[in-house]
Amino acid sequence: QSVLTQPPSSSGTPGQRVTISCSGSSSNIGSNYVYWYQQVPGTAPKLLSYRNDQWPSGVPDRFSGSKSVTSASLAISGLRSEDEADYYCAAWDDSLSGWVFGGGTKLTVL
Residues that bind another protein (CB under 8 A): 2, 33, 35, 37, 39, 44-47, 49-51, 56, 88, 90, 96-104
At 81 the three-state DSSP class reads helix
Nearest to another protein of 96, 110 (CB atom) = 96
> Is residue 33 within 8 Å of 54, Cβ to Cβ?
no
Q: Which is nearer to another protein, 4 or 18 (CB)?
A: 4
The residue among 15 and 94 lying less far from another protein, judged by its C-beta, is 94
Residue of 71, 77, 61, 90 lying closest to 26 (CA atoms) = 71
Q: CA-CA distances (angstroms) from residue 106 to 5, 38, 103?
A: 13, 10, 10
Question: Alpha-carbon distance 29 to 41, whole Å?
Answer: 26
Q: Tell the smallest beta-carbon distance from residue 103 to another protein (Å).
A: 5
Give the nearest distance from C-beta 15 to another protein in angstroms.
Answer: 28
Least distance CB 63 / another protein (angstroms): 14
